[in-house]
Structure 1
């Protein structure tokens, strides 16, 4: 199957689709003696059966588990620090993240913090630790995703909330790309329609934003192929997954699409939708926010002729005779899966929030400069303000 071949071709770690439990058992048996630290969410892994399956593997590998299950939906600095302290106390032979993107992000951040000896805050930024210690080889998390959206099982990213400052901060670090990822679609069947919609939209945004990032094409010879395959999978399967959570084929394909999205943004970063929604946690689901911000951002990107040309390669999935027609077709797809048409229709998204978002955009100079159509830092408030106003009104 071409999708499995594409996923298993990603360099730098093992993503296992076939016989994942056997692969995990073998991995744990080859590790040194000691317990396994397992990070989960609060309830979902019991409901979807994932915890029972993992317990069986741990018994087969003759491993004791130390479980931490108090990871909130938007993991905060305090939670990650507690996780790192537990790891320091336990000194595990392996660390497993069993859950959605929040669990995986928090586990990745905590394990790096424990092994580096640095404070968590010292890791916020891009490759902070690996630039100082390029020859270091810290152990990395084993990820078993139970949602289909973030792609965290394949990325060097961890998003952590700093509640003191009221912002979400990013760790981008090559040393936290998971060592082993085991996407098991059966665990996603219990996701309710709203979660399926939001996580599916997150995956779609990753795929499209990465594909449109024409300035990063040289980073990977395969990323655009991954993106096109993933976009097709989302368009063909997200409506069915929302309508019937037990649709195994749709769930399998959405799981693959999410992992492909993670692989894409590992090499070709997201753009303005992710920049603008970065600190909207607690107001609007992340996947819905980035999906809604994409049309206006995409329209801005058309100022780069290469993006306009790249856009037409998506006409097979979002039919249109010219670039703006493709964007309009993408928006119609969002309509078909129940995504609101305008930010003004979403509770918690206010003109005041958007003004603050536009004003703070200049703090992420790298994201502005690496956008498919770069945003001058000196003019970022005006440009971002215009994009956000269009998204608020449902225009693009």
Structure 2
């Protein structure tokens, strides 16, 4: 038997309490001029002021763009780039949640290659390396610090769109759990649930072969030995600590577990990709204007149930990683126990249980299914195939809260 594995990651990943203090030395290796992308909330904190002062003390000139908005509206990227072009940065530093990191990636892309952001929508449209990006997350969820993706909202499109290229992977990811200590319970829950969904979808993704052209033709290539390793680590850490971190934000060990879990999940899905839960969330999120992490987590138990006939062995491993006692259970029973544990965990941290409760209009169920079915890069990654009728049944089950119906 031979293994197949592929993974794409930053040149350097630094993780641990206080690792943000390494930023000046890391940045100094890349140049002397840094564009820093963050949002107004974090820009007003004492921690951010300390980070900027430390960069300046290391003889790095800093231009701060603190106008990052949720979901990175397309035209805000052009504003950032226009403001930074004369500054001529040597690097871009993203500090904040996933949108701040995605803004940094997009800014580096346009500063390097010009054009409009929409020129790069899709896979492998970025022609060459960009300015180096240093990603410093302050939330534990998206995994953008290690992934080849930047997601933006385009006013000319109903759904959010992505730019996917290995050239978008940050040069360095600096993950300091202390930066997440101030996250409120609701944000901790939604971000952490997003990370757990990333890990489960990466681990249960289709295994798409060993052809040498696979990773050259596709950014996301399905599960492999290395992505499985990171996905199971993420599931273990998030399973044992996400609920604790939501209940007690001052629990340093839980915060560390959740941030490491989000990082590991990003390492997994950044190559393996995600699947049906993400495909359905895109149209559902566009209609309900709800957070991405909330939407994918709402959908995850139903998608796991739909996939259980094709992925029972993997779901059983998910259950083991979540710490379930599987003594005396058959394979399908272990898979069902894993689904129930994910549903229990999400309910415990306040995740909305159905698409109905999320606010999806009943008359948009079929439209949501049709839109999700058309997102081929995600649907082809799902371990159980879809036709349009199967997708409609799944969306209806998630709307009604009928877990049993989602398995049909």
Alignment deviations for residues 228-259 of structure 1 (CA, whole Å, 9 cap, x no partner): 11111111111111111111111111111111
1:242 is aligned, of 236, 239, 246, to 246
- Matches of 2:297 and 2:186, distance apart in 1: 14
Matched residue, 2:41: 43
Q: CA deviation at 1:20?
A: 2.9
Residue pair 2:276, 2:382 contacting (<8 A) in 1 also: yes
Matched residue, 2:307: 301
Q: CA deviation at 1:336?
A: 2.0
**Which stretches of structure 1, 4 residues or more, deviate above 6 A after TM superposition?**
none
Q: CA deviation at 1:137?
A: 2.9
Alignment CA distance shift 1:288-1:141 (3 Å): same
Matched, 1:352 2:344: no
Residue pair 1:126, 1:172 contacting (<8 A) in 2 also: yes
Residue pair 1:198, 1:288 contacting (<8 A) in 2 also: yes
Matched residue, 1:6: none
**DSSP 3-state at the match of 2:100:** helix
1:155 is aligned, of 143, 147, 161, to 147
**DSSP 3-state at the match of 1:36:** strand
Higher relative contact order (CA 8 A, sep 6+): 2
**DSSP 3-state at the match of 1:194:** helix
- Matches of 1:258 and 1:387, distance apart in 2: 27
Alignment CA distance shift 1:168-1:11 (3 Å): closer
Matched residue, 1:363: 374
Q: CA deviation at 1:45?
A: 4.3
- In structure 2, the gaps of 5 or more residues are 1-6, 211-222, 404-408
Residue pair 2:207, 2:224 contacting (<8 A) in 1 also: no
- Matches of 2:197 and 2:139, distance apart in 1: 16
**DSSP 3-state at the match of 2:37:** strand
- Matches of 1:331 and 1:109, distance apart in 2: 35
Equivalences for residues 214-293 of structure 1 within 5 A: 214-215=206-207, 220-279=224-283, 280-281=285-286, 283-293=289-299
- Matches of 1:267 and 1:217, distance apart in 2: 14
- The count of corresponding residues between Structure 1 and Structure 2 is 374
Q: CA deviation at 1:216?
A: 5.1
Q: CA deviation at 1:67?
A: 0.8
Residue pair 2:278, 2:378 contacting (<8 A) in 1 also: no
Q: CA deviation at 1:87?
A: 3.1
1:122 is aligned, of 113, 119, 122, to 119
Alignment CA distance shift 1:74-1:364 (3 Å): same
- Matches of 1:207 and 1:165, distance apart in 2: 28
- Matches of 1:217 and 1:200, distance apart in 2: 30
Alignment CA distance shift 1:11-1:178 (3 Å): closer
Residue pair 2:8, 2:166 contacting (<8 A) in 1 also: no
Alignment deviations for residues 362-387 of structure 1 (CA, whole Å, 9 cap, x no partner): 43223222211232xxx32x222111
Matched residue, 2:400: 393
Matched residue, 1:313: 317
What TM-score comes out, normalization by structure 2 length? Answer: 0.86
Matched, 1:101 2:98: yes
- Matches of 2:43 and 2:50, distance apart in 1: 10
- Matches of 2:76 and 2:252, distance apart in 1: 34
- Matches of 2:363 and 2:88, distance apart in 1: 46
- In structure 1, the gaps of 5 or more residues are 1-8
- Matches of 1:191 and 1:216, distance apart in 2: 38
Q: CA deviation at 1:116?
A: 1.3
Q: CA deviation at 1:309?
A: 1.3
- Matches of 1:104 and 1:233, distance apart in 2: 23
Q: CA deviation at 1:31?
A: 3.1
Alignment deviations for residues 75-134 of structure 1 (CA, whole Å, 9 cap, x no partner): 1111112122233232102210010001111221221122112321011101112xxx4x
Residue pair 2:181, 2:250 contacting (<8 A) in 1 also: yes
Matched residue, 1:88: 85
Q: Which moved more, 1:320-329 or 1:206-215?
A: 320-329
Equivalences for residues 187-202 of structure 1 within 5 A: 187-202=179-194
**DSSP 3-state at the match of 2:240:** helix
What TM-score comes out, normalization by structure 1 length? Answer: 0.89
2:64 is aligned, of 62, 67, 81, to 67
**DSSP 3-state at the match of 1:181:** strand
Residue pair 2:36, 2:65 contacting (<8 A) in 1 also: yes
Q: CA deviation at 1:187?
A: 1.1
Matched residue, 2:23: 24
RMSD: 2.1
